[in-house]
Amino acid sequence: MGMRRSFKPTNIVSNGAFASVTGWTGTDGTIAAANNECTLTLTGTGLYTRLSQGINMPIGKYYVSFEIYPKYANNTLFYTSTVAVNPVTLTLPTPNVWNKVSGVFDNTDISTGTYFMHKTNASYVIGDTIKFRKIMLINLTLLFGAGNEPTLAWCNNNFPAWFDGTLGGGSFGGIGGLK
């Protein structure tokens, strides 16, 4: 699998380490940042409780990765404004511990929003919290070229757990812990 040498891995999420909540919106909840974590405190228990950020995403394959600390083992999903009818189910996380969730998905139309969702329509009550941290989104098509995008297993094994901005310097094999 080849990588376009003129590109370096870029996390297109802004403030994915949550120095603050700038750039983020919570649905069915209020959000606060502390210790590089975002806490979403539920004000409702709808099906689409989520953390979101407006990101312009061209057509292509993407790698998404983040950590979630849920109270219950409900589905955790990722979707964009164009794949809302067919979200990517990432995992059924373990309650009350940090879980890394990740996926590779096809963005089939230009998107203007990203949604990191944990279903709260079962078990949760108003006032419960869900925590998020280390949110990362990488355009694999831009990085590797159409048809050359790596698998989820490759991404999980070769990209660092989290980075901000663009990794740089040298060849792909030596950048920021990438293999």
28-40 pLDDT, tens digit per residue, is 899 999 999 999 9
Whole-prediction pTM value? 0.85
Residue of 73, 31, 65, 72 lying closest to 50 (CA atoms): 31
The answer to whether 169 and 150 are in contact (CB under 8 A) is no
Is 3 inside a domain boundary?
A: no
Domain count, the chain: 1
Upper half-sphere CA count for residue 91 (Cβ side, 13 Å): 18
The answer to whether 72 and 122 are in contact (CB under 8 A) is yes
C-alpha to C-alpha distance for 179 and 172, rounded to whole angstroms: 7
Is 4 inside a domain boundary?
A: no
C-alpha to C-alpha distance for 56 and 95, rounded to whole angstroms: 32
Tokens of 127: 């006032």
Domain of 145 in residue numbering reads as: 10-168
85-125 pLDDT, tens digit per residue, is 456 677 778 899 999 988 898 888 777 777 777 777 778 89
Residue 89 belongs to domain with CATH number: 2.60.120.260
